[in-house]
Structure 1
Amino acid sequence: MPFVAWAGIAVLVVLALIVATGASRLRTLSRRVGSFPCSARPAGNPQAAWSLGIAHYAVGRIEWWRCWSLSPRPTRTWLREELSITGRVPLDQAGQPDEYLVRCRYDGTDFELTMSSGAYAGLASWLEAAPPGRRDLVV
C-alpha cells in the first residue's frame, strides 16, 4: 500500500478519535448533576455571536464549558460572591418559548446568558441562597 493511502487512513483515524472524544466530553458534561444548557455572549452587542455551552454548579461557583471544545477545563468560572443578575427578558417573542435572556455582571464585566425558565429559577435560587450579607445578587 502506498504511503499516501496510509497517511490518509491515519488522518481519518485521528479525526474519528477527535470526534469521539468531543462527543464523549459533551455527553459527560451534560449528564452531570447540576448541569444545564446555557449560551453566553458579551453584553452590549446584539450582533455578537452566542457561544453554546453547559453550565455546572460547583461549590461557591458556576463553571461554564464551551460545547465545541476538547478542553478538560471550564472556559469560564463565576464565583457566587462576585456574580449578580442585572435583568432578564423572556424570549417568547423571539420564538423561543420557555427561554430567558439573562443579563449578568461578574467582576465589573457585563455579559448575557440564555437558559430555560427552570435553569433561571435554579440560578436565582442559588444566588439568593448565598451566605448572609450577600442577598443583593438578584434583581
Structure 2
Amino acid sequence: MHDGWLLLLDVLGVLLVLVLIAGVWLVVRRRVIARDGGTFELSHRSRVDRDGRGWVLGVGRYSGERLEWFRFFSLSPRPHRIWLRDDVDFVGRRDRVGAEDVSLYDDHVVVRCGSADGEVEFAMSESSLMGLQAWLEAGPPRADWDSRPVR
C-alpha cells in the first residue's frame, strides 16, 4: 500500500513539472512573438455557423505585408492563420451579438473584413482597429498589370 502512495506522488510531481514547463513556454512564446513589436490582442472568429459563437482569443502581429494570428493558448511558435494585406479589405464594424458580450474583452469591437477566403471577423480594441485600418491603407496601390495593353 505504501508503494501505491509513492507512485501517486511521483505521477503528481511529474504532472506538476509538465504544467510548469508549459506555463513557462507560453510566457517565452509570447515574448518571442512580441520581440519585433507590432503585436496586439486580436480575437478571431473561427466558426461563423452560429451567431456570436466561435471566437478564439489570440495575438495579432504585423509582419511586412502579412497579418499573422497566433492562438493565445497554444504551444506552437508559428502563426495559426496568416492574411496578406492585398487580400484583406475592411468591410465595417458590427455590434456584439449574444454570447459575444462574455466571450470577448470588454473594450473590443467586432470588425468585419473581406478576404480571399471569404468574410473574416476579428475582435480588437479601438486603437488596434485604427492600426489595422492604417496598415491596410499603407499598402501600395493595387493595379491589375496583366490587363494593361501592351504597346
TM class by shorter-chain length?
Answer: 0.7 to 0.9
Structure 2 distance, partners of 1:48, 1:15, is 29
**Pairs aligned (count):** 132
Report how far residue 132 of structure 1 moved.
1.8
1:103 to 87, 101, 112: 112
Which among 138, 143, 148 is matched to residue 129 of structure 1?
138
2:21 corresponds to which of 17, 21, 31? 17
Q: Which of 69, 78, 81 is 1:76 aligned to? A: 81
Larger radius of gyration: 2
Whether the 8 Å CA contact 2:108–2:125 is kept in 1: the answer is yes
- The one-letter code matched in structure 2 to 1:73 is R
1:82-101 map, 5 Å: 82-89=87-94, 99-101=108-110
| Residue 118 (1) aligns with residue 122 (2) | no
1:137 corresponds to which residue? none
* Post-superposition offset of 1:24: 2.7
Task: State the shift of 1:39 in Å.
Answer: 0.7
Q: In structure 1, how many angstroms separate the alpha carbons of the residues matched to 2:54 and 2:20? A: 28
Contact 1:90/1:99 (CA < 8 Å) preserved in 2? no
Which amino acid in the other structure matches residue 9 of structure 1? G
Q: Structure 1: any 5+ residue segments left out of the alignment?
A: 135-139
Aligned counterpart, 2:67: 62
Identity percentage of aligned residues: 33
